[in-house]
Amino acid sequence: MSTAATAIAGMTATGPHGTVRTAEHARIMTFLDARGEGRTSLVELTGDPGYGKTRLLTAVAGEARRRGVDVLRARCTETRTGESFHPFIEAFTSWRPSGTTLLAPATAFIRALAAAADMLDDTSTSRCRLFAELRSLYGDCLAAAPGGLLLLFDDFHFADRASVDLLEVLARWPLVEALPVVVAHRQRQVPAWMHVTIQAGVELGAVEQIRLAALTLQQSAELLGLPGRAPGLADLHERGAGNPLYLTALAEQEAGGGDDGRADGFGHAPSAGPSDHWARTTLGVRLLAETTPLGATQRLVARAAAVLGDTFTVDAVAAVAQLDRAEACRALRELRARDLVRATPGGELAFRHPLVGRCLYGQTDPCWQVGAHRRALEYLRTGPAAPTLPARHAERSGPRGPAGVGVGLTAREREVARLAAQGLRTRDIAGRLRVSPRTVDTHLAHIYGKLGVSSRVELVRLLSVAP
């Protein structure tokens, strides 16, 4: 384990964990305190996946309950997007302050919601009258909660249209004592119609927006329970992109002494442990759950992209997935809508974090991987790819020579291969890596064997760098 990893292993075990979103927590509590003062009644909490929205809602719920507020919480899900009022019904169904029985106003409200859901498509029913009645029943619920009610809706990007319409009514025409509602969602996945509605609320002053940003270095230190100048912290912070989800996963990984995900910029190195390592972690299970709704073509395209690495293009993905360009394009558009893939400033595409790609890679069938790497190698060798890219695919694209059947290079061997491919002599490589020339020669012998080449010229040619 590196010094940094040792330091992190020692310190994360005792760190405080989880106090980094204090400013946003305070803002939501202030909003809760201001209810009934004619202030906004709706907070929109946004942030990238893993930024800590759900965790913050949990902290807010705990604090509100300690203050005597009844907290009703619901999570919107993709499979229920078509069910009208599903977050409201779920939240109020959980409201049982006196034990097992629902309060009478909650029962009346839930019944009215269910009935309204059936009537929404009926053109002869006045929507205005329906929503006015729901608003009034909602008021009855408020009156039954002397300590106040707080509604927390998570993953609101999956909310149904009727729920958003009802929230709009409640935000625009608040009751005497406004019911505070916090909706948390991933901004990139919010449908356009929802975005427009929320934006209109913001402009009217009825919606307050709180955006979670990437953690600062200091916040990352706090999250991990490390001193601000801990060795390795800045590197971890950068690799985790200031995202609590990735940061905690990478810190745990380092503390466990495992692969740090840096091996070749994407961590595909065979020496970096089993390629399905990340897919089997808690993080992997969580990230891969997002791919469950994908169709067969989208899944194929996601896996082809994972084979390609950190960044990829539509054409490269199409070549690896053996699809025509239009089909690959359609699937990638869907992956972008799910925020699994994003456009990079350089005009390429990338997973929203390299760990997403690593988890997907770990899920692919090893036999398919070999063919996919071979196709990637063929595609990239025709273009201006960086030398390390074809090398990685070369390592993984199957049997190459008697001694190197399916075996890849270690991190050190890749480094030696890269320098050799740049034309450096053994002595210069040894100087750069601070090892003896004999060690370099030994590495080269292993590299030749594994990649099935017998000279530097062949190695250079394999790595697509002109000698």
Ligand X SMILES: Nc1ncnc2c1ncn2[C@@H]1O[C@H](COP(=O)(O)OP(=O)(O)OP(=O)(O)O)[C@@H](O)[C@H]1O
Q: Would you call 424 exposed, middle or buried from its count of C-beta atoms within 10 A (0-12, 13-18, 19+)? A: middle
Q: Given the DSSP bridges, would you call strands 149-154 and 207-211 parallel, antiparallel or unpaired? A: unpaired
Nearest distance from C-beta of residue 215 to Mg ion, angstroms:
16
Annotate 102-160 with three-state secondary structure.
Answer: CCHHHHHHHHHHHHHHHHCCCCCCCHHHHHHHHHHHHHHHHHCCCCCEEEEEECHHHCC
Nearest distance from C-beta of residue 456 to Mg ion, angstroms:
52
Q: Write down the residue that tokens 């029943």 correspond to.
A: 137
Count of residues binding Mg ion (CB under 5 A)? 2
- The binder of 240, among Mg ion, ligand X, none, by C-beta within 5 to 8 A per type, is none
Residue 51, interface with ligand X (CB under 6 A)?
yes
Nearest distance from C-beta of residue 54 to Mg ion, angstroms:
3
**Which positions from 22 through 61 interact with Mg ion, judged by CB under 5 A?**
53-54
- The binder of 17, among Mg ion, ligand X, none, by C-beta within 5 to 8 A per type, is ligand X
Centre a 10 Å sphere on the Cβ of residue 191 and count the other Cβ atoms it contains.
15
What residues are paired with 208 via a beta bridge? 43
Binding span for ligand X by CB under 6 A among 31-39, 42-50, 63-71, 457-465: 42-50
- The binder of 223, among Mg ion, ligand X, none, by C-beta within 5 to 8 A per type, is ligand X
Judged by beta carbon, residue 91 or residue 224, the one nearer ligand X is 224
Question: What's the DSSP call for residue 15?
Answer: -
Site map 238..277 versus ligand X, x via CB under 6 A:
------xx--x-----------------------------
Is there a contact between 351 and 305 (Cβ–Cβ < 8 Å)?
A: yes
Site map 202..231 versus ligand X, x via CB under 6 A:
---------------------x--------
Instruction: Report the distance separating Cα 253 and Cα 436, nearest Å.
Output: 32
Q: Which of 150, 177, 154 is nearest to 65 (CA)?
A: 150
Residue 297, interface with Mg ion (CB under 5 A)?
no
Binding span for ligand X by CB under 6 A among 50-58, 144-152, 304-312, 321-329: 50-58
Is there a contact between 312 and 329 (Cβ–Cβ < 8 Å)?
A: no
Is there a contact between 218 and 228 (Cβ–Cβ < 8 Å)?
A: yes
Nearest distance from C-beta of residue 405 to ligand X, angstroms:
41
Judged by beta carbon, residue 125 or residue 216, the one nearer ligand X is 216
Question: What's the DSSP call for residue 270?
Answer: G
- The binder of 65, among ligand X, Mg ion, none, by C-beta within 5 to 8 A per type, is none
Judged by beta carbon, residue 76 or residue 179, the one nearer Mg ion is 76
Q: CB nearest ligand X: which residue? A: 52
Residue 186, interface with ligand X (CB under 6 A)?
yes
Count of residues binding ligand X (CB under 6 A)? 17
Residue 359, interface with ligand X (CB under 6 A)?
no
**Which positions from 303 through 332 interact with ligand X, judged by CB under 6 A?**
none
Instruction: Report the distance separating Cα 150 and Cα 29, nearest Å.
Output: 11
Q: Which residues of 308-336 are buried (b: 16+ CB within 10 A; e: fewer)?
A: bbbbbbbebbbbbbebeeeebeebbebbe
Is there a contact between 69 and 151 (Cβ–Cβ < 8 Å)?
A: no
Is there a contact between 164 and 194 (Cβ–Cβ < 8 Å)?
A: yes
Nearest distance from C-beta of residue 223 to ligand X, angstroms:
5
Judged by beta carbon, residue 135 or residue 342, the one nearer ligand X is 342
Judged by beta carbon, residue 27 or residue 381, the one nearer ligand X is 27
- 202: Cβ–Cβ under 8 A, 6 or more apart, which residues? 44, 209
Q: How far is the CA of 348 from the CAs of 68, 261, 305, 317, 398, in angstroms?
A: 51, 21, 12, 11, 27
Q: Tell me which of 24, 32, 35, 49 binds ligand X, using CB under 6 A.
A: 49
- 177: Cβ–Cβ under 8 A, 6 or more apart, which residues? 35, 36, 142, 148
- The binder of 354, among Mg ion, ligand X, none, by C-beta within 5 to 8 A per type, is none
Residue 187, interface with ligand X (CB under 6 A)?
no
Judged by beta carbon, residue 287 or residue 308, the one nearer ligand X is 287
- The binder of 400, among ligand X, Mg ion, none, by C-beta within 5 to 8 A per type, is none
Q: CB nearest Mg ion: which residue? A: 54
Residue 21, interface with ligand X (CB under 6 A)?
yes
Residue 358, interface with ligand X (CB under 6 A)?
no
Q: How far is the CA of 358 from the CAs of 116, 263, 299, 301, 354, in angstroms?
A: 45, 12, 14, 14, 6
Q: Tell me which of 8, 42, 50, 388 binds ligand X, using CB under 6 A.
A: 50
Q: Which residues bind ligand X (CB under 6 A)?
A: 17-18, 20-21, 47, 49-55, 186, 223, 244-245, 248
Q: Which residues bind Mg ion (CB under 5 A)?
A: 53-54
